[in-house]
Amino acid sequence: MRLEEVLYSQGFGTRRICAGLIQQGLVALETGICTDAGHDVVTEGLRFTVRGEAWVFRAPAYLMLHKPAGTECSQKPSAWPSIYTLLPAPLRQRPQKGAVQGVQAVGRLDQDTTGLLLLTDDGQFIHRMNSPRHHVPKVYEVTTRHPLDETQVRRLLDGVVLDDDPRPVAAAACEAVAPLHLRLTLTEGKYHQVKRMVAAVGNRVEGLHRSRIGGLGLPDDLAPGQWRWLEATDLAALRG
Ligand code: URA
């Protein structure tokens, strides 16, 4: 692939801007600075720097973010900073079918929810992960206002009716790991589903954290606000 095209595909700006960066000597390959925008490179595992910042070629891009509290999963947030501000500009500017679109969150977490959030520019992946047909389990650590009891856990497992659908929704798994700590596994992603399910059994969510999606857990060393690439092993773990 031409070096100019590599930079463009990774979100470093229009083809013209990318050619300019290269011609100005701001792009280095492992072999050194390259000023030829048409230089042919092998993209597999390609490492390069732009203005001294290291980048690894990824297409498509898959990443995980430890979503902090007080952030919105929207590109145009209404009250809180967007999670997209936590990502480097190239990830927000990746082109898709000729338009600047960037990576997108795979489903949304509420403003006050923390934890594991996936982002990608692979539309099919988003569809597969969000589709209720694929039953990808998502594990939530719920801090409740009132002590949990067996009846609440049993009702969440049996299914509760929410206000927008007469069909009951049930947790795929549910256990009280401490008096105020519920671990709840869901395979769908309805609007405010955890909060509404917990409310339906007479309790209330005080804190919500997503710890796992499929076989992929949020790593202990990924601090709130930090992101990292998903590797092939992570993607395999997601498929289960
Ligand atoms: N369920 C909720 O209620 N909120 C979230 O953020 C995720 C699941």
Q: What is the CATH number of the domain that holds 19?
A: 3.10.290.10
Q: What is the mean pLDDT of residues 169-190?
A: 96
**Lowest-confidence range among 50-54, 115-119, 188-192?**
188-192
pLDDT band of 148, cuts 50, 70, 90: very high
Give yes or no: residues 16 and 79 share one domain: no
Which amino acids bring their CB within 6 angstroms of ligand 1?
Answer: 109-110, 113, 192-195, 208
Same domain, 114 and 233: yes
Section 190-212 average pLDDT: 97
Measure 32 CA to ligand 1 centroid, in angstroms.
47
Same domain, 44 and 68: no
- 121 annotated active-site: no
Out of 56, 72, 94, a domain closes at: 56
pLDDT band at 202 (very low <50, low <70, confident <90, very high): very high
Strand order in the sheet with 32-33: 32-33, 27-29, 47-50, 53-56
For the CA atoms of 116, 120, 123, 125, the dihedral, rounded to the nearest 10 degrees, stands at -50
Task: Tell me the average pLDDT of the chain.
Answer: 95
Give me the catalytic one of 36, 110, 121, 165: 110
Look at residue 233 and tell me whether its pLDDT is greater than 90.
yes
Which residues constitute the domain of residue 52?
A: 3-56
- Domain with residue 67: its CATH number is 3.30.70.580
Together in a domain, 48 and 69 = no
Residues 125 and 102 grouped into a single domain: yes
Evaluate whether 64 touches 75 at the Cβ level (below 8 Å): no
Higher-confidence residue of 123 and 3: namely 3
CA atoms within 13 A on the CB side of 165: 11
What is the arithmetic mean of pLDDT over 98-114? 90
In the predicted structure, residue 98 carries a pLDDT above the cut 70? no
Q: What is the pTM of this model?
A: 0.94
Could you give the percent of the chain with pLDDT greater than 90? Answer: 88
Number of domains in the chain: 3
